[in-house]
Amino acid sequence: MKIELLTPAQARARQAAGAVLIDVREVHERAQGQAEGALGIERAALEAAPQTHLPDLSREVLLICQSGARSLAAAQALLERGYLRVASVEGGTTRWIADGLPLVMPLVDAEQARFAERYSRHLLLPEVGPAGQQRLRDARVLIVGAGGLGSPAAYYLAAAGVGRLRIADDDVVERSNLQRQILHGEDRIGQPKVSSAAQTLQALNPDIAIDAVAARVTADNVEALLDGVDVVIDGADNFATRYLLNDACVRQARPLVYGAVQRFEGQVSVFDAGRRRGQVPCYRCLFPAPPPPALAPNCAQAGVLGVLPGVIGLLQATEAIKLLLGLGESLAGRLLGFDALGMRFHELALPPDPDCPVCGAAAP
């Protein structure tokens, strides 16, 4: 069925005759003025649950946005959901104003308007929308390490609106960190990394909370660090910490987003054996024991291309957001490798080890 396109004047006449006019723009857009008599319902919310707002499928519905594109897309979505009389206003609110038709200034809560403006690009995604953004706001993520991997991961999680970030690191900022650890700056050399990280992240997004834990992850504190979190980001630089995190995540059924870098190569995966035991592996399934030090030198010994942790940390943040929202397919059961010199990704299947002492069939 073809969607009817109306001029603002035609929409105004239909509205007077009983049609419902809906402004599908975001809250902060409508705060600048909306068509008189229009209902304000964000496109994502309308498409997610149209019958909540429009229980009568036969009622005439007119949709308006800023210029006409979003209202046309929303109209198509309503037609596909069984609505019989749907039209879109050509030129949207911009043309409504140009044609001299009446506007109103809706009362908008300042905090709600700021929230809608900050996350407007997320809210436009039906897969996220207001409900998904609220899930991110309610989420808690533990980031172990405020260095090369933790910096980009934390930065993008903060930007995405994850409500509480717990960052654990016992190190201080050094000048050699600044080539890759983007949370820190020259003026913070000598400061605890978690304090520097918190300062940067709060400046980016003052609406989130940062728990800065200036401590190394140990057997004595790992359980407390995981308490109440939804996802764990592994930005550690040593095997002892990785094993501690893995084992605790299996025990507490927390997904662990793993990342590692060396020289020009990196890898990322998700270890979710605590929630999916027997279906996907844990970190010990991949590395039952640490490799010899000669085969796994750290960045201080082998060096690392400065941008490489940014790539891997960004992928870790992506996996964390997907896990929090329940979107897409995670890297659980897959190891994604990245070769920066060849600019190639490669993937390796990771089956669970049935004899793994942590997540295997005989494990406690």
8 Å CB contact between 27 and 112: yes
User: What is the distance between the alpha carbons of residues 246 and 198, in angstroms, rounded to a whole number?
Assistant: 25
Our answer to whether residue 285 is catalytic in this structure is no
Neighbours of 257 (CB within 10 A): 31
Which residue is catalytic, options 285, 299, 356, 359? Answer: 299
Q: Which two tokens stand for residue 135?
A: 């899930």
Q: Which residues are paired to 231 by β-bridges?
A: 141
CA distances from 328 to 128, 235, 315, 318, 348 (A): 12, 23, 14, 11, 19
Is 52 exposed, middle or buried (CB count within 10 Å of its CB: 0-12, 13-18, 19+)? exposed
State the Cα–Cα distance between residues 258 and 277, nearest whole angstrom: 17
Question: 338-359 burial by CB neighbour count: b if 16+ within 10 A, else e?
Answer: bebeeeeeeeeebebbeebebb
**What is the radius of gyration, based on Cα positions, of the chain?**
25
The arrangement of strands across the sheet holding 61-64 comes to 4-6, 86-89, 61-64, 20-23, 39-40
Ordered DSSP codes for 97-158: HHTT--EE-----HHHHHHHHHTHHHHT-TTTHHHHHHHHHH-EEEEE-SSTTHHHHHHHHH
Please, are residues 287 and 358 in contact by the beta-carbon 8 Å criterion? no
299, 229 Cβ separation under 8 angstroms: no
Instruction: Yes or no: say if 151 and 182 are a contact pair by the CB < 8 Å rule.
Output: yes
Active-site annotation, residues: 299
